[in-house]
Structure 1
Amino acid sequence: MGAELALMEGGQIQPFAVAGAYLLTKSGRTRTEYQRDLRHYFTWCAEFGRDPFFQKRAQMDAFKNWLSDHYSAGAVNRHLSAVSGLFKYAMAELEDFIVRNPVALVDRKPTSSISQATGLTFVECDLLLLGAQAYSLRCSAVVHILLLTGMRVSELVNANIEDLGEERGHKVLRVTRKGGRQQTIVIPPTAWAALEAYLDGRTSGPLIITSTGRRITRQGIWDMVKRLCRRAGVRMIRTHDLRHTCATLALESGMPLEAVQDLLGHADPRTTRRYDRARNNLDASPSYAIDEKLRAVAARRQAEAALDEAVEVLVDEALREVLATAELAAA
Structure 2
Amino acid sequence: MSGKTFKKAQRIVDQWLLTKTDRTRVEYERDINRYVHHCVALGVNPLRAEPGTAATYLSMLRDEYGMGPSARLRAYRVVCAFYNYAKRWGHARRNPFDDVPKPSVVAEPKLGMALDGAVHFVREAFYTSERLYALAVTLLVLGLRISELLSADIEDISTEAGQRVLWVLRKGRDEKIAMALPDFVFAALVAYIGTRRSGPIFVTRTGKRLTPHGAYDSVVRLAARAGLHHISPHLIRASTTVILLELQQGLEKVQEHLDHGSPQTTVGYNKKRLRLSASPGFVLERALVDALGSSMEQSRIAVAA
TM-score grouping bracket, smaller chain normalisation:
0.5 to 0.7
Greater mean deviation of Cα atoms: 243-252 or 19-28:
19-28
Q: Is the CA contact 2:120–2:226 (under 8 Å) kept in the aligned structure 1?
A: yes
Separation in 2, partners of 1:179, 1:40: 28
**Kept after mapping to 2: 8 A contact 1:147/1:246:** yes
Aligned counterpart, 1:23: 17
Q: Does 1:80 align with 2:81?
A: no
Match of 2:104 among 85, 99, 110: 110
Contact 1:38 1:82 in 2 (8 A): no
| 3-state SS of paired residue (1:151) | coil
Q: What is the Cα deviation at residue 236 of structure 1?
A: 5.6
Alpha-carbon distance in structure 2 between the residues aligned to 1:107 and 1:230: 33
Which of the residues 134, 141, 148 maps onto 1:141? 134
Deviation string for 1:67-99 (max 9, x for gaps)?
56453543443343233222222234x34x656
Cα deviation for residue 222 of structure 1 reads: 3.4
SS of structure 2 residue aligned to 1:178: coil
1:158 is aligned to 2:148: no
Tell me the number of residue pairs that the alignment of Structure 1 and Structure 2 aligns. 250
Whether the 8 Å CA contact 1:53–1:98 is kept in 2: the answer is yes
Q: RMSD across aligned C-alpha pairs, in angstroms?
A: 3.4
User: Superposed, which structure 2 residues align to 1:170-319 within 5 Å?
Assistant: 170-181=163-174, 182-229=176-223, 231-235=225-229, 237-268=231-262
1:143 shift after superposition: 0.8
- Structure 1 stretches (4+) deviating beyond 6 angstroms? none
Per the alignment, do residues 73 and 229 of structure 1 end up closer, same or farther by CA in structure 2, a change over 3 Å counting? closer
Query: Which residue number in structure 2 is paired with residue 91 of structure 1?
Result: 87
Deviation of 1:204 (Å) = 1.9
Q: Deviations over 1:186-211 (max 9, x none)?
A: 22221122222323353322212334
Give the drift of 1:233. Answer: 4.4
Q: TM-score, normalised by structure 2?
A: 0.67
Pick one of 36, 60, 65 that aligns with 2:34: 36
Answer whether contact 1:209 1:215 (CA < 8 A) is retained: yes
The TM-score, its normalising length taken from structure 1, stands at: 0.63
Q: Aligned partners of 2:207, 2:115: CA distance in 1, in Å?
A: 33
Q: How far is 1:177 from its partner?
A: 2.3
Structure 1: 5+ residue runs without aligned partners? 1-8, 271-331
- Aligned mates of 1:174, 1:100 — CA distance in 2: 42
Which range is displaced more, 193-202 or 103-112?
103-112
Instruction: Report which stretch shifted further, 176-185 or 160-169.
Output: 176-185
List per-residue Cα deviations over 1:35-79 (Å, max 9, x = no partner).
Answer: 2134335656x4xx6x64457xxx54x555545645354344334
Q: 1:66 to 1:210 in 2, by over 3 A?
A: closer
SS of match in other structure, 1:172: strand
- CA drift of 1:134 comes to 2.3
Percent identity over the alignment?
A: 30
Report the Cα offset of residue 130 of structure 1: 1.9
